Structure 1
Amino acid sequence: MTLTNSEENYLKAIYHLSDGGKKGVSTNDIASSMKTKPASVSDMLRKLGEKEVINYRKYYGVQITEEGRNYALQVIRKHRLWEVFLVDKLKFNWDEVHEVAEQLEHVRSPLLTQRLDEFLNFPKFDPHGDPIPDEFGDVKARPRIALNDMEVNAAGQIVAVKDSSAAFLRYLDKVGAYIGARVKLLDKVEFDGSVEILVDQKTLFMSKDVASNILIVVT
């Protein structure tokens, strides 16, 4: 079975919105994610249903099938491997790679994906800290919490970001909050939820919104 690029994009969005296939997704949520109208979503859902990668029942939302989940994971695998390649080998900044990887993820060559994985020495995470599914679709996630959920005086390491928009990543570059940086939570401000943190021996103040988008492995 082969999906079109557009069908792959929808399937990937449904996978993410469904928390890896654990819950149903509404057509409105899909429309919002894909920046399109619900009527266009309905037409695409019909096509994906005919290819048996999703199930749709009124009032229960869209459920991704096991075959659909496996297909989505392979698209995600290619996307994240290409992001590693662009950052590590072509020296793109981490805020520049998403759009390019969106195009490269649709290359339909299992051998190319395998060779790319080997060339990169089998990376486990992309430049934004998201886990890379292996060739069998297995995802090795690691326990992590949002920065603003840490206890005061707790320490850890930045391992991922929830928001991978270019503007947010440029902000993190500016303040030095990169993937792999060591952090310690010094204080939480009760009034607005902002935090004071120590990043590589530098004190920073962050809003609640920023801190909630930075993921930490506590050590």
Structure 2
Amino acid sequence: MRLEDLTDSAQNYLKALWTLSEWSGGTVAPSEMARHLNLKPSSVSDQIRRLTNQGLVDHAPYGSVKLTDEGRSLALMMVRRHRLAETFLQQMLGYTWDEVHEDADLLEHAMTDRMLSRIDSVLGHPDRDPHGDPIPAADGTLPPAIVRTLTDAEKGESVQLVRVRDGDPSILRHLEKLGATPGEIVTVVDPGESVGVMILSSASSDNPFPLSRDIADYIRIAGVVGTVDPSH
């Protein structure tokens, strides 16, 4: 099946399934899909049924949803379109990282393969988008997964922020003000496990700053030595 054979809605579902499973590391519940897409559970159930009939997802009754091999391949095509669109909007059109998601959602459906190839070339074949999310290559391969979160870092440890979940623009703006963006190196002054607030320091901040552990749990990190630079 070709990507163009699917409706925009079906494309969005496949992309959402991949994105949610990418963060959770497993299968996705229909209720989680409904929250992510801001849709009624009944609408999500209907679309999942159609995708199941097309052989693009596996869904046991009352169970979670998983992409089939064909569904995964198509989902990665959509993820590639979306993340290259976000990178293009930021680097070439001056969008901020909290602005790119909504317009990339529109642009991804209008892209031809030729346009996508040209954008990829102009950008220098990036492997991560403005939020540090990995951009699938044209053949569907991905950079190595980074699964460690900022809440895993210990007191006194210095780490590089590699990836930030981009679902809430207000959180992205907050992190921007703090200087807690992909590529930044921070040191854990206090992990704040008992109070739910971490205290961090960085070269871009004159003073240590607080960060909710709930937010920190959506930030992926790498060690300072041998880190992956999300800007390349």
Asked whether the equivalents of residues 15 and 21 of structure 1 are also in contact (C-alpha less than 8 Å), the reply is no
In the TM superposition, what are the counterparts of 1:89-100 in structure 2 within 5 Å?
89-100=92-103
Any unmatched runs of 5+ in structure 2?
A: 225-232
62-71 vs 142-151, which deviates more? 142-151
Q: Deviations over 1:94-150 (max 9, x none)?
A: 000000000111125112111111111000100000000000111113435222211
Tell me the residue number matched to 2:229. Answer: none
Asked whether the equivalents of residues 131 and 166 of structure 2 are also in contact (C-alpha less than 8 Å), the reply is no
Q: How much has 1:85 moved relative to structure 2? A: 0.6
Measure the CA separation in 2 of the matches of 1:190 and 1:109. 48
Asked whether the equivalents of residues 21 and 63 of structure 1 are also in contact (C-alpha less than 8 Å), the reply is no
Cα RMSD of the aligned pairs, angstroms, is 2.1
16-25 vs 152-161, which deviates more? 16-25
Give the alignment partner of residue 136 of structure 1, picking from 135, 139, 152: 139
Tell me the residue number matched to 1:211. Answer: 216
Measure the CA separation in 1 of the matches of 2:165 and 2:190. 22
TM-score (normalised: structure 1) = 0.91
TM-score (normalised: structure 2) = 0.86
Corresponding pairs, count: 219
Describe the shift of the 1:177–1:26 C-alpha distance in structure 2 as closer, same or farther (beyond 3 A): closer
Q: Deviations over 1:2-61 (max 9, x none)?
A: 111111111112223334897443322222222222221222123222322123221443
Asked whether the equivalents of residues 197 and 211 of structure 2 are also in contact (C-alpha less than 8 Å), the reply is yes
Tell me the residue number matched to 2:228. Answer: none
Give the alignment partner of residue 158 of structure 1, picking from 157, 161, 171: 161
Measure the CA separation in 2 of the matches of 1:109 and 1:37. 31
